[in-house]
Amino acid sequence: MAFSDVRTFEGEVLTGSLRGFFPAGGEVIVSRAPGRLDVLGGVIDYTGGTVCEMPLREAAVLGLQKRPDRQVRVRSLNAEAEGLTPEWTFALDDLLACADYPQAQEFFRREPGIHWTGYVAGAFYVLARERGVRFPAGANLALRSEVPLGAGVSSSAALEIAAMQAICLAYGLELDGLTKARLAQMVENRVVGAPCGLMDQLTSLLGREYELLIIRCQPDVIEGSEPLPEGVQVAGINSGVKHSVGGSRYTDARVGAYMGHKIILTLLQEWGTTGQEDPFRGYLSQVPPAEFWAVYRPHLPAQMRGQEFLDRYGDILDAVTRVEPDRVYKIRSRAEHHVSENARVAEFRRCLASYARTRDQRFLRRAGRLMYASHWSYSRRLGMGAAETDLLVRLARSLGEERGVYGAKITGGGSGGAIALLGDDRLPAAVREIAQRYEAATGLTPDVFLGSSPGAEAFGHRLMRWG
């Protein structure tokens, strides 16, 4: 399969802006990792929910060439347009000398505009710390990405997976796909400091073209890769409003969900129906919906100050976030979203399977309504909506199934970013019309995501050598 983004990158290396970055005669390993479209599930990955993800056509392409010394030189063709420093060189031994992850975080923040390099070069530290890898030499790494930053389509995971894949290939590290995805997640959680779940890295690495990767995030059970039914399409539109997984709304919503889980466990222990073990195995999304609404929800406070929670319940069981004593967290609504979204995903999959067998439009219609319900829950229960994504969903709904649009929802971490849409073969034309109407209403030019491509594992790698 030909990839135009890979050809463009290779052209930059040979005759374009990367000419001379890689010295002639040395082999360059080229990896490619796509962004992902969160079709349903989104943030319930960190509470053990099941998610439906599809790899996008847009991807990050990275070239790596080992150096004769122990320097690491990182360059991005996209950074300058984002107001970031496009290139940074550092001593590999200085990074590996960091005593812990907080020090590694600070290493990539020591100068303004270089924090993005942690997504790429952070893999060196994680591999050394977690797998005991001894790197014999440094490397030159250059990247070009078509996955827009802050769009909610995993630009960060694309960088992390492209880098992890290339580094493992260059240094002869034989790791299975799940291990590489977990290590790439650690780059984002521990080195960058963003509390993401694992679905982004798994999809970027293991996703299949035009298929929904079904992940039961406990923590990373891949239930399968389900092809879209014939005549069914999904697409995305970027609102142009950037979101951040490291932002306060995402973090507060995550903490609130874990607080709800801890309160439920405390109730069960007080009632004497369970001991110290968690009947839901650490996953809030596994609470049965009927049980949640009938029994637990009435006991969950709408909100609570962090210090009051810590005094009454102790800390939460989350490795990457903590309760801030002076912050007020919403709890009941956050827990509601995770339990109800997990139920929506299960029904969504059943609807698509039924449509594939019967071609009865009622099943596709129901699947679309589940997406609209998910969007409402993101915005109202999680507090992670945005006026611009709400507008895009309203525009999608105004076209409706008469124009081939059956459902739409905000994606990934919310609070801006993109929406995902479900439709039939008329969806591409409808998406372009929605984008035009949105631009006319807001003055923002949205990115449109049409099409898919294989994950980094299926792509493999290319080798470049010249001179």
Give catalytic residue positions.
200
Cα–Cα distances in Å, from 294 out to 289, 290, 301, 332, 344? 8, 6, 15, 13, 18
DSSP string, 281-305: TT-GGGS-HHHIIIIIGGGS-SEEE
Report the Cα–Cα distance between both ends of the chain, in Å, rounded.
26
Cα–Cα distances in Å, from 453 out to 1, 11, 127? 10, 21, 27
Cα distance between residue 432 and residue 445, in whole Å? 11
User: What SS3 string covers 176-212?
Assistant: CHHHHHHHHHHHHHHHHCCCCCCHHHHHHHHCCCCEE
Q: Which is nearest to 342 in space by CA: 267, 392, 290?
A: 290
Beta strands in 41-164 (DSSP E): 50-66, 71-76, 87-91, 139-145
Q: Are 170 and 64 in contact (CB under 8 A)?
A: yes
Pairing mode of beta strands 418-423, 405-410:
antiparallel
Residue with tokens 């063709």: 77
Q: Are 411 and 420 in contact (CB under 8 A)?
A: yes
Q: Are 48 and 285 in contact (CB under 8 A)?
A: yes
Q: Which is nearest to 351 in space by CA: 337, 371, 336?
A: 371
Cα distance between residue 63 and residue 427, in whole Å? 35
Cα distance between residue 89 and residue 161, in whole Å? 21
Phi, then psi, of 114 in degrees rounded to 5: -110, 0
Q: Are 341 and 377 in contact (CB under 8 A)?
A: yes
Cα–Cα distances in Å, from 183 out to 120, 163, 166, 464? 12, 11, 13, 26
Pairing mode of beta strands 139-145, 71-76:
parallel
Cα distance between residue 55 and residue 179, in whole Å? 19
Compute the Cα dihedral for 209, 361, 345, 192 and give only its sign: positive
How many beta carbons lie within 10 A of that of residue 424, not counting itself?
17
Compute the Cα dihedral for 398, 404, 409, 411 and give only its sign: negative
